[in-house]
Structure 1
Amino acid sequence: MTATVRYTCPHCGSVTSIERPLDLADRSVTKRSQPGWEYAAPDDPLEQREAADGIAFVCGEDGPVTDLEGAPIEGCGRPFYLNFVRYEQGVELEPDPPTYGGPRFDFMG
């Protein structure tokens, strides 16, 4: 069983819809891919999409996009990424950079 899930482009605010299973494990939507993560395309088979680390969208090129009220609009054509929750040896992996806690600064002395 699936449901239509809507994701907002972080570049322009347009909305992309895709069929997803009911047991979602979404972590974040980002402007950049996570280093080392493998992304499926929105038109890949459902099982292949859900086995990946996330889904890579291109705003307006992977199907119709709308505004928040559902009116059709043009997408911006820029990529964005849906990142799933990932586990390694039973431990949840954090995205890089983390999607919470504000900016992260790494100073090397």
Structure 2
Amino acid sequence: MVEVTYHCPYCGAVTGIEREGYLADRCVTKEPLDGWTYADTTDDYEDADGVELICIGDAGDDEGCGRTFYLSFVRYRAGREVDPEVPLEDYEDRPRFDFLS
């Protein structure tokens, strides 16, 4: 097991988890990816598609914001890497098509 650290997408604080080094990270997002299953940091997350993290910052620091964010692993279906559908509402400058309605 190794400790791997991630930056919170909300406040930038660093949060870490102990995990196997062979797991391939895809991304860290504010919202879960559609179709991905997430485990808690206390669960066996090696069989999940990712981990639900809570921003606590480094041990002893009070810099974490306490918000939930998501670490998603690379996922395969029929031997091919699956591309996630990232919700567009996460992006402030996303294209808008509401005028078509």
TM bucket normalised to smaller: 0.7 to 0.9
In the TM superposition, 1:1-109 aligns within 5 A as 2-44=1-43, 48-60=44-56, 65-66=57-58, 72-97=61-86, 105=95, 107=97
Q: In the comparison of the two structures, how many residue pairs are matched? A: 95
In angstroms, what is the RMSD of aligned CA positions? 2.3
Structure 1 gaps of 5+ residues are none
Structure 2 CA distance for partners of 1:57 and 1:104, relative to 1, 3 Å: same
Q: TM-score, normalised by structure 2?
A: 0.80
Structure 2 gaps of 5+ residues are none
Amino acid at match of 1:54: G
Question: What are the superposed Cα offsets for residues 71-91 of structure 1, whole Å, 9 maximum, x if unpaired?
Answer: 712321211000000011111
Partners of 2:17 and 2:41 within 8 A in 1: yes
Question: What are the superposed Cα offsets for residues 5-31 of structure 1, whole Å, 9 maximum, x if unpaired?
Answer: 111100001111111112121011001
Q: TM-score, normalised by structure 1?
A: 0.75
SS where residue 73 of structure 1 aligns?
A: coil
Structure 1 segments of 4+ aligned residues over 2 angstroms from their partners:
102-109
Partners of 1:14 and 1:73 within 8 A in 2: no
